[in-house]
Structure 1
Amino acid sequence: MESFIVVRANDRVVKVTARNDGTINEKTLRRAFQLEDDVPIGLFKNDLALACRDDDVFELQEGWKGAEFELRWEESRRKLKKLGATNPKKRKIEPESQELPVDGDLAASIGRYALYYNVKKDNYKRSAIPLTPRLAATFRHGDNKSIEIGDEIVIRSWSDEKLKVSTRAVKIVEELDTIILESDGADLCHKDLISNSILPRKGMQYLMMGYSILHEKTSHQSLSTGIIVSDVTRRLRYTGSSGSFKGDSGGSCWNENGQLIGMQIEVQKRPHTQDEKGRPASPASGGRCCIVAIISILANIQDLLPPADSDGEYEWNE
């Protein structure tokens, strides 16, 4: 069985075969990303640059199999600086002053991926995000803390009343506040959305689908727009300018091209404002939302994905 790592660079994510001794050479990485020999590269894990030996080999360190790494090269940084200096119309990130309209065409194109499930205690919908035909993701916090591996969750579709798929919790990724669900047989969707996902980027506009419209003791689909306003944090979170309300947890986030970029899991808390004597002048309230990248989830579920065949397609073992 081949050993590999997941390498991301810019908007690309590639599985790259590594040596069994836990090393990978520069040439392998260059070929994977079509980089010329004169472009300096660095390999990083959790923002820490890995050691490169004199023979141009990176040492991947313990626990490297299937782990996520980032490849950086000087050429890309020069290009980004150049673009930023010559683009006077670059989008200004002032989220509090912007009200972005919902793109109706985009909303229609991704509407088929609006999945949800209910729990016994109430009739409110919880978001589930299809990742592949057989895998979905949802949030871990709150009531979902009680979900254990093997628990059954029945997933339904907002747009297709006939869809009813039995899934089971197969993996919990605590650091990403994520539960992975696997279908017992039927398909959740007909596309491999996770392989086409890209990383959120500061300044990127997104559309979020949730279920935060509450009416008559149930919840209905909600659409929110926003802009990614931060780089990734040490906790692997991005900040989005849209607010977050009850029913938005687990909401799927999509870029303007209809690519899945993240899952909404948290909300920033805005502290009390104070009067001149330092006393609370207003209640604390919810602020901007926090998003985990779908690509970060991908790096944690390699063991659940089917092997790629020689044509790069996926095959499921029934």
Structure 2
Amino acid sequence: MTMTSSDKLRFGVDLVTFFHPGFWGVDGYDGIIAHSRAQPRAFWDKILDSVQASGVTGVELTFSPFNWQDAIKTYGSVEAFAAQLSSRGLQLASGFFAELEAAGDFTKPSAQTAIIDKAERYADFLTACGSDVMVIGAPLRQTLGARPVRFHDFEQARKIADFLNRLGAVLHAKGVRLALHTEAHSIFAAARDVDLMMLLTDPAYVHMCPDTAHIIVAGSDPIQLVDRHHERMIIAHWKDALGPMPADTPIDEHIHDRHRPYFCGFGLGRVDWPAWIRLLRDRGYQGWAILELDAAADPVHDIANGLTLVRQALLPIYR
């Protein structure tokens, strides 16, 4: 079975999928970074060749060494990177922007100015490569029981939403749409938190990138949650998870490493994929579906297997 434009879904992969030492034949994540710096062209060529070999057609850039600055530095220009994608039949689906999580207290005017400047430059890159979606990670929550307590209440959410509205308007002027990513242990993953942020942000400027696995890890149901806000979804991360993480999980610089044991291959976890594809069909969703596996040891095989599942079991339902 081959996919056609009538399927209305386009499949891509987030480059975090390639963040596994075994794929690169190195010891540890520091080894990946060292390899990317020592042999940047070989590093990026292997990534793009692997995406092509997996069968998907879209790429979502993410943190360094898989970010847009690294791509430009490696190939020499935005145009040269775009040409590398095109020569392999690939498109830039989207770019992940992680600056909110790293900014600390971004409610300060100086921090907001710096974030907007970075986002504008990123938006220029995205549009030059033919993409119009910037996926943005939300700030992390506080570990349960930590002192002093910081409540994520209405007033705090309102401050964050105000900035997201303004950032969304800035990006819109650049031809790029802001999509909030449902990152587990952030202020935008569990059902109540997503409902609150969707209520407070302007749907004209702030959209949604649901991640099925992260919603499950956060203890919520991705089908019910996304159905409530389906009109805000402009891109989606398709990933499976084994179940929710403990409520007292420490939320610190290692939280993303703690997530990984809870993620699993497509069809092996809690995501009800037939219900998911029926939801997208019934709500008329069209756009990118980003198949994502955090740090897969054999990413080409795993992505190809996921795509096979989609083609054989899900696309007939969607049609």
For this structure pair, what is the TM-score category when the shorter chain's length is used for normalisation? under 0.3
Structure with the bigger RCO (C-alpha within 8 Å, sep 6+) is 2
Question: Which structure shows the bigger proportion of residues in strand conformation?
Answer: 1
Give TM-score scaled by structure 2 length.
Answer: 0.25
Question: Which structure shows the bigger proportion of residues in helix conformation?
Answer: 2
